Amino acid sequence: MNAAASQPSAHGGVAFVTTHWSVVLTAQGRSPAADVALEKLCRIYWPSVYSFVRREGRTVEDAQDLTQSFFARFLERRDFDTVRREKGRLRSYLLVSLKHFLVNERVRALSIKRGEGRTLIPLEELIARERKDLEPADTLTADRIYEQRWALTVLEQVLARLEQEHRIVGNGELFARFKQLLAGEPEGISQAKIASKLGMTENAVKQAYYRFRQRYRELLREEIAHTVAVPGDVEDELQHLIAVLRE
Tell me how far apart the alpha carbons of residues 101 and 95 are, in angstroms, rounded to a whole number: 10
Beta-carbon contacts of 178 under 8 Å, excluding residues fewer than 6 positions away, are: 194, 208, 209, 212
The reported pLDDT for the residue numbered 115 is 42
The reported pLDDT for the residue numbered 104 is 74
The reported pLDDT for the residue numbered 10 is 37
Tell me how far apart the alpha carbons of residues 135 and 139 are, in angstroms, rounded to a whole number: 8
pLDDT along the chain (247 residues), means of 10: 40 44 66 76 85 88 86 74 62 86 67 49 53 55 91 91 95 92 74 92 95 94 84 87 87
Cα-based angle 59, 227, 117 (whole degrees, multiple of 5): 40
The reported pLDDT for the residue numbered 109 is 57
The reported pLDDT for the residue numbered 208 is 95
Q: Looking at the chain, which runs of residues are DSSP E strands?
A: 6-8, 14-16
The reported pLDDT for the residue numbered 84 is 55
> What sign does the dihedral 66-241-141-186 (CA atoms) show?
positive
Provide the 3-class DSSP secondary structure of residue 31. Answer: coil
The reported pLDDT for the residue numbered 2 is 40
